[in-house]
Amino acid sequence: MMDHNEKLNHLCMQFSSDIHMIFNDVLSIILFGSAVTAEYNPKKSDLNFLVVLGESDIRRLNNVQKFVKDWQKEKISLPLFLTKSYIKSSLDSFPIEFLNMQSAYRLIDGEDVLKDLKISKKDIRLQCERELKGKLLKLRQGYILTGGKNTALKSLISQSIVTFTAIFKALLYLQEKEIPKKKTDVILKACDVFDDIDRDLFTMLLLIHHDQDKKSKHELESILQQYIQSISRLSETVDRM
């Protein structure tokens, strides 16, 4: 029986073989995200691939359709198909996404297109502000929609807290701090760097996310209100950067 690493390597090689079977001009295949970190859990984690194609092959994506079901059985998410020109022209539009790919990836085949990407701090700051304000609005709306119900309050906290990981990574990058590999460590380090987000509060949010702490409806409402206030303060700080 294969261990986790052997199974992952096998899946990467099989995926690479499929891609080369589909396309003629494959420039790069890259695995990114949790699968290349210590947080990888083969039973829960999806495999995320970036596939960089030549301009002619990007028009032939219909050929991918028949492979998708088999990939999904192996927890392979729908790959991200890009061209080098798209990457170059999109660094200012999606700086956080490319920064997060660059922070945790493994080259499977071809050219390392992420290695030398130059991502503007100005663009990252702007996207951080936009993302924080957008998520703040969703938190407020989500709070209203919970109807004050315990299960809904817990679900809102659990589902939202991990979505801040990418933004917090970007904020640490802006402050020229080392970015931890684990999501939990990223969130807690951001608390240490930014006074707007309280470490004790976010530790509690993470415990709720991992179902390691039971709270009453009243306690969850109080925690969620503090959570919203923290993100509001942080968004104001990033706005002033």
Instruction: Give the predicted TM-score (pTM) of the model.
Output: 0.84
Same domain, 64 and 165: no
Same domain, 90 and 183: no
Q: pLDDT, tens digit, for every residue of 25-50?
A: 999 999 999 899 888 888 888 999 99
Residue 88, both tokens: 């170059």
Of 77, 110, 143, the one marking the end of a domain is: 110
Reported as a pLDDT band with limits 50, 70 and 90, residue 5 is confident
Which distant-in-sequence residues (6+ apart) come within 8 Å of 23 by Cβ?
A: 53, 57, 60, 63
Count of structural domains within the chain: 2
> Which CATH number fits the domain that encloses residue 43?
3.30.460
Confirm whether 116 is domain-assigned. no
Same domain, 160 and 224: yes
Same domain, 77 and 42: yes
d(CA 13, CA 79): 15
Confirm whether 51 is domain-assigned. yes
Same domain, 163 and 98: no
Q: pLDDT, tens digit, for every residue of 78-133?
A: 999 999 999 999 999 999 999 999 989 999 999 999 999 999 999 999 999 999 99
Q: Which residues constitute the domain of residue 76?
A: 4-110
Nearest to 35 by CA among 44, 26, 22: 44
